[in-house]
């Protein structure tokens, strides 16, 4: 998958769909507005996700359009990418850390504020489903490493090799020139974050990744951290992040975006504000990328990223479309 197909904005009916990580997916007008002015009809169901993961949004749409819940849709949607070995940034086939181990991070959050997360999980293809089990079957929110893996086996998940022939070869090549140094750049990561609204108007979110390629062993990014890589408040909306997790954690990025929407900003305005706050502290840096995707209770979406030259792809019931991405441009 081409990571530069980040997303962006579009207009459909009364709702502005903005560009964020490969956003969106599918939408359908609802019969009864649930929030907002009377004139403003909420869009639901709807599924959006970061980057160009069109098969994931298609799967989420399949669930939502069969009256499935936002939570089922978001889990099943991102599972498509976790299982896709050609996607080398998520799940099986994700690139390893600098010691050659594939370690996965994921989280999920529902309409009631329930959430579950796994970090540094090895040998399991679907960390998002383990995260959901943590949420539903334990009194905890985060399980890490060996404990998370053991819990997964207890829940019936199978042990599987996550390194593929392709990622093994890339890793062998990396070792030849890297001097064992982890480098943060715009090429060695990507994540699927997905937000959905079901026909009842309830919101859910999920985020799953193999993290930064060739990271220091033990590193955990923003993606499984509730409030950083993902946040959902069913009264307001949801947000998810992609890009350099360290920067997103520092700003509690997704929580920030949701709070900005609570204060009245549109999803697009909130994502722009979030990215700008991060870039203010990183003036002049051109070596990394940050992107936020957000949705509000009305089904309006927005997205913004650091890095000029992106396009994003939108997938709706009407088909697929590439859009020009709105990006934060660094001062020269
Ligand atoms: N946010 C992910 C991480 O830092 C990577 C990405 O989305 O590009 O692990």
222 lines ligand 1 (CB under 6 A): yes
Catalytic-role residue among 5, 103, 191, 209:
191
In the chain, domain spans: 23-331
56 lines ligand 1 (CB under 6 A): no
CA distances 185 to 32, 214, 215, 315, Å, are: 45, 11, 12, 28
189 lines ligand 1 (CB under 6 A): yes
Long-range contact pairs involving 285-289 (C-beta distance under 8 Å, separation at least 24)? 285/330, 286/330, 287/184, 287/185, 287/186, 288/184, 288/185, 288/186, 288/243, 288/244, 288/247, 289/186, 289/242, 289/243, 289/244
191 catalytic residue (yes or no): yes
Q: Which residue out of 6, 107, 224, 243 has the highest number of ligand 1 atoms within 8 Å of its CB and is therefore the one to mutate?
A: 243
- CATH class of the region 23-331: alpha beta
Q: What is the pLDDT at residue 290?
A: 87
Written as six digits, the tokens of 279 are 């870039």
Let me know: does 27 contact 45? Beta carbons within 8 Å.
yes
Q: How far apart are CA 66 and CA 240, in angstroms?
A: 25
Q: Pick the residue with more confidence: 308 or 172? A: 172
Q: What is the mean pLDDT of residues 77-96?
A: 96
245 lines ligand 1 (CB under 6 A): yes
pLDDT one-digit tens code per residue, 252-261: 999 999 999 9
Q: What is the pLDDT at residue 329?
A: 61
Q: How far apart are CA 64 and CA 285, in angstroms?
A: 40
Average model confidence (pLDDT) across the chain: 84
Q: What is the pLDDT at residue 184?
A: 75
pLDDT one-digit tens code per residue, 294-320: 999 998 888 888 875 444 454 555 555
């Amino acid at each position: 998958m081409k990571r530069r197909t980040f997303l962006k904005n579009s207009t459909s009916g009364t709702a502005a769909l903005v560009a964020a990580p490969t956003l969106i997916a599918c939408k359908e007008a609802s019969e009864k507005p649930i929030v907002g002015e009377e004139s403003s009809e909420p869009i639901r169901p709807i599924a959006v996700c970061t980057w160009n993961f069109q098969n994931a949004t298609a799967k989420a749409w399949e669930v939502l359009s069969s009256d499935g819940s936002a939570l089922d849709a978001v889990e099943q949607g991102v599972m498509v990418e976790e299982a896709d070995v050609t996607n080398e940034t998520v799940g099986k086939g994700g690139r390893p850390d600098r010691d050659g181990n594939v370690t996965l991070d994921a989280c999920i959050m529902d309409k009631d504020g329930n959430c579950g997360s796994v970090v540094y999980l090895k040998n399991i293809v679907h960390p998002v489903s383990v995260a959901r089990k943590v949420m539903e079957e334990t009194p905890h929110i985060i399980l890490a490493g060996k404990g998370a893996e053991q819990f997964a086996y207890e829940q019936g998940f199978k042990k599987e090799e996550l390194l593929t022939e392709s990622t093994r070869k890339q890793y062998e090549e990396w070792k030849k020139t890297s001097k064992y140094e982890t480098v943060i750049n715009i090429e060695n990561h990507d994540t699927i974050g997905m937000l959905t609204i079901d026909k009842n108007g309830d919101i859910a979110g999920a985020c799953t990744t193999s993290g930064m390629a060739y990271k220091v062993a033990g590193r955990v990014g923003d993606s499984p951290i509730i409030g950083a890589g993902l946040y959902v408040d069913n009264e307001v909306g949801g947000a998810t992040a992609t890009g350099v997790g360290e920067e997103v954690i520092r700003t509690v990025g997704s929580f920030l975006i949701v709070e900005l929407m609570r204060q009245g900003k549109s999803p697009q305005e909130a994502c722009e504000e979030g990215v700008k706050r991060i870039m203010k502290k990183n003036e002049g840096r051109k070596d990394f990328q940050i992107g936020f995707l957000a949705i509000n209770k009305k089904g309006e979406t927005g997205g913004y990223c650091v890095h000029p030259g992106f396009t994003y792809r939108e997938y709706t019931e009407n088909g697929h479309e590439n859009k020009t991405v709105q990006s934060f441009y660094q001062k020269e």
